Amino acid sequence: METGVPGSSQVIGGVPTKVVYSQHIRQRAPGSTIAFMTLLAGLVLAIIAIVKDDLTRVTLYTPTSHFTEYCGWKQMHNYNEHDGYSGTPYYFTYSSDCKGDNRACTLERVGKAFYSLLIIGIVFAGFALVAFMMDASAPMTYVFIMACELFFFGCMLADALIWGLFKTCSHYCKHLSFPNLPSDITRCHSNLSSTWILVVIAGGLALFSMFFLTLHQMCRKRY
């Protein structure tokens, strides 16, 4: 029995037929591997984002000095015991002041929404990675992966918009009411910080992963 050379043509019944093996399809279309690695990188960034929890960086100024705090999804905090107005770690949980301050209640609601969407996105990305370990070229597996990646991207996009558009911590710059803060604050400046940036990058990587997976599927059909 003759064996065709991958990528070559044989004449069968007068009709030239291209001979291509599945392993060579993967070689010609490396998009599946790239898609897997890109999604994995996005998932890792999303996990780092939820652990780091620095959505907004707030710099507070007094007549003699300044110090930096970070707004997370659950609380405002700093890290370095030598960096801060009191010289000790600072933690302010939004729920603790929600009854007496509507801004704290807003922070609490938006923070819970952000956290929930981030967790859901991480779960869907995990499902997609598990499916990748099967044959990503199979039509049903391909559709499942694409659906999971789309949900992951949607959660990252929603998180970026929720925190970015509400600018909740930025409002505190105009109406500061955190407990135990100095009374001589003259101004403050806020900007979106590392967690928000990581979420945006993770969403972008999900898009790239979908693109490379689609490219892989198109190459598979072509060859």
For the chain, give the percent of residues with pLDDT over 70: 69
Token match 């300044």: residue?
Answer: 66
Please report which confidence band the pLDDT of residue 69 belongs to, taking 50, 70 and 90 as the band edges.
confident
63 pLDDT above the threshold of 60: yes
Q: How far, in Å, are 44, 74, 86, 169, 194 from residue 51 at the CA level?
A: 11, 12, 25, 19, 11
- Comparing C-alpha atoms, which of 160, 150, 152, 106 is closest to residue 126? 152
Express each pLDDT in 79-131 by its tens digit. 655 544 555 566 778 787 777 667 778 888 888 999 999 999 999 999 999 99
Write the DSSP symbol of residue 5: P
* Domain 31-222, architecture per CATH: Up-down Bundle (1.20)
Structure tokens that stand for 143 in this block: 């559709």
Domain ranges of the chain: 31-222
The whole-angstrom separation of Cα 40 and Cα 105 is 35
pTM here is 0.76
The whole-angstrom separation of Cα 177 and Cα 6 is 71
Q: In terms of pLDDT, which residue wins out, 97 or 143?
A: 143
Give the pLDDT confidence score for residue 197 in this predicted structure.
94
- Name the H helices within the chain: 22-28, 31-52, 102-132, 139-166, 168-174, 194-222
- β-strand partners of 192: 56
Q: What is the mean pLDDT of the chain?
A: 77
> Which distant-in-sequence residues (6+ apart) come within 8 Å of 107 by Cβ?
71, 94, 168, 169, 172
3-state secondary structure of 11: strand
The whole-angstrom separation of Cα 31 and Cα 216 is 5
Cβ-in-10-Å burial (0-12, 13-18, 19+) of 13 comes to exposed
